[in-house]
Chains A and B, each alone.
Chain A
Amino acid sequence: MLVELTVNGESRSANVPPETTLLKMLREHLGLTGAKLGCDVGDCGTCTVIVDGVSVNSCLMLAGRADGCDVTTIEGLATADDLHPLQQKFEEHGALQCGFCGPGMLISAKNLLDNNPDPSVFEVRDALAGNLCRCTGYTKIIEAVIEAGEMMSQEPANV
């Protein structure tokens, strides 16, 4: 089936078998390998992408479901000149160790800050509950998200 969607602002399309997940379409048909294949059953969150404003596990969403939708992946965060404030703060805080959970963590955090620029620690933990970091770097990740929120509120022009 033909699936047409907007990925990080660009129109993209691919012909995929109906049982293809959005993750597989992004990685294997569109060459966007930022979203990672982790558990493949919706537990780990490293495949997280934003579809029409809400974050989802792209390993659980069939590509056909995303037809006509607006998708944001980790590749859509940085510009040619600058890292996204979240990426800057993750770097500053050493919030990633092995980094495998990073794309999902950053996308979940972006979705949180898009809707709630000044989250409490509880709200950050709740928003990241579906993203597992097996290096257990949660504390630094949470600190980075809080600071990125502050940075984005102060410099809205940069976002």
Chain B
Amino acid sequence: MRPMDYIVPESAEAAVAILAERGENACPLAGGTDLVVDLKHAPGNINALVDVSGLDEFRGIDVTDEGLRIGSMATYGEIMEHPVCLEKTPEVVAASHTVGAVQTRNLGTIGGNLVTCVPSADSAPALMVLDAEVTLIGTNGWRRMPIEDFFVGPRKTILEPYELLAEIWIPKHTLGKPSSFYKFGLRKGQALALVNAAAALELDGDRIVEPRIALGAVAPTPIRAVKAEALLDGQDVDAKLLDEAAQIAVTESKPIDDFRASKNYRRQLIRTLTRRVLERSVEIARKRQEQDKLH
């Protein structure tokens, strides 16, 4: 291995400038759970590591007037223990809990996981159903976009060269929104999802409001099942309707055959998991209605 530089920048802007100056052989380092493995087995031409994990702009989890801000360098372990995440985004916590195992969750960051951009990333569907947004910083400054737009293809994000994922924002209006996440893997620990699914919705009486469905490991990127959402929007809850939406979600997916599961098996999982996360979200919304009545 060639001699390597280890650089700890002072700010996010400085990190971008250093990456731009060093060119493509410099690599930003987050939790390292993927990159350190690459350094050992396929280092390529990497000659500098720019450690962005401690940058203030990328750290911390806090609530502002806009909503919940999760710094991209928050580890899954930190998210799982954060009181606001536990209270307001329990399904993001649940999704975080299904990533790897304790030791990898204490190193791995949510931002690093999203930038790696594998179709099965567990946090993605849980964030997508809460209308999460991401902020990026690059040589042209900051920009912000819905998280769906961040994913471009397998291991390909919208990030320009030398651009970094800074924050994940969950807007105020979806904090505490009834939601459900379900991952189907071959084991509970250290397993990639065959399919993962998340849903979120509000109930106005029996009427479904603002339904969201997101699926992972079923297409080149995590996806929203927008046609299934459209079917549900404004309709009264009904078991048959939820199953119909789940069937539509199957048609919106493009699962592949691989060594983990066949395409057909994944299709069946998509229908079952979508129905389950919808049913569970309805159940949570109903409980909320009952609690509101008591107060």
- Measured CB to CB, the residues of A under 8 A from B are 1, 17-19, 21, 40-43, 45, 48, 54-57, 59-62, 64-65, 108, 111, 125-127, 129-131
Contacting pair A61 B100 (CB below 8 A) = no
B178 CB–A CB distance under 8 Å = no
Report the interface size class on chain B: 20 to 34
Chain A residue nearest to B33 in the complex (CB): A60
Contacting pair A130 B53 (CB below 8 A) = no
Task: From A18, A21, A57, A127, give the contact of B5 (CB < 8 A).
Answer: A18
| CB within 8 Å for A48 and B5 given contacts A40-B40, A126-B189, A129-B189 | no
| CB within 8 Å for A45 and B103 given contacts A64-B6, A129-B189 | yes
* A1-B7 Cα distance, complex, nearest whole Å: 11
* A88-B102 Cα distance, complex, nearest whole Å: 24
Task: From A1, A40, A130, give the contact of B190 (CB < 8 A).
Answer: A130
Contacting pair B36 A55 (CB below 8 A) = no
Task: From B37, B40, B43, B103, give the contact of A130 (CB < 8 A).
Answer: B103
Chain A residues whose CB sits within 8 angstroms of the CB of B53 once the complex forms: 65
The 7 A-B pairs with the shortest beta carbon distances in the complex, nearest first, are A130-B101, A129-B189, A18-B6, A54-B106, A129-B101, A57-B103, A130-B103
Chain A residue nearest to B189 in the complex (CB): A129
B13 CB–A CB distance under 8 Å = no
Contacting pair A64 B107 (CB below 8 A) = no
Chain B residues whose CB sits within 8 angstroms of the CB of A59 once the complex forms: 36
Contacting pair B3 A61 (CB below 8 A) = no
B82 CB–A CB distance under 8 Å = no
Chain B residues whose CB sits within 8 angstroms of the CB of A61 once the complex forms: 32, 36, 107
* A3-B53 Cα distance, complex, nearest whole Å: 17
Contacting pair B32 A17 (CB below 8 A) = no
Chain B residues whose CB sits within 8 angstroms of the CB of A130 once the complex forms: 100-104, 189-190
A60 to chain B, nearest CB (A): 5
* A42-B103 Cα distance, complex, nearest whole Å: 8
B61 to chain A, nearest CB (A): 16
Contacting pair B106 A56 (CB below 8 A) = yes
B262 to chain A, nearest CB (A): 25
Task: From A19, A57, A125, give the contact of B107 (CB < 8 A).
Answer: A57
| CB within 8 Å for A41 and B107 given contacts A19-B1, A62-B32, A65-B51 | no
* A42-B37 Cα distance, complex, nearest whole Å: 8
Contacting pair B100 A62 (CB below 8 A) = no
Contacting pair A62 B36 (CB below 8 A) = yes
Mark interface residues in B218-262 (1 if CB within 8 Å of A CB, else 0): 000000000000000000000000000000000000000000000
* A64-B54 Cα distance, complex, nearest whole Å: 12
Task: From B33, B41, B103, give the contact of A55 (CB < 8 A).
Answer: B103
Chain B residues whose CB sits within 8 angstroms of the CB of A108 once the complex forms: 102-103
Contacting pair B4 A65 (CB below 8 A) = no
Contacting pair B190 A60 (CB below 8 A) = no
B29 CB–A CB distance under 8 Å = yes
B51 to chain A, nearest CB (A): 7
Mark interface residues in B156-190 (1 if CB within 8 Å of A CB, else 0): 00000000000000000000000000000000111
Q: List 30 A-B contacts (CB under 8 A).
A: A18-B4, A18-B6, A19-B1, A19-B49, A41-B40, A42-B33, A45-B101, A48-B103, A55-B103, A56-B107, A57-B33, A57-B103, A57-B107, A59-B36, A60-B33, A60-B36, A60-B103, A60-B104, A61-B36, A62-B6, A65-B51, A111-B102, A125-B188, A126-B102, A126-B188, A126-B189, A129-B189, A130-B100, A130-B190, A131-B101
Task: From A1, A45, A57, A127, give the contact of B6 (CB < 8 A).
Answer: A1
B211 CB–A CB distance under 8 Å = no
Contacting pair B107 A60 (CB below 8 A) = yes
Chain B residues whose CB sits within 8 angstroms of the CB of A54 once the complex forms: 77, 106
* A18-B6 Cα distance, complex, nearest whole Å: 6
Chain A residues whose CB sits within 8 angstroms of the CB of B14 once the complex forms: none
A73 to chain B, nearest CB (A): 14
Chain A residues whose CB sits within 8 angstroms of the CB of B32 once the complex forms: 60-62, 65
Mark interface residues in B25-53 (1 if CB within 8 Å of A CB, else 0): 00001001100110111010000010101
Chain A residues whose CB sits within 8 angstroms of the CB of B41 once the complex forms: 41
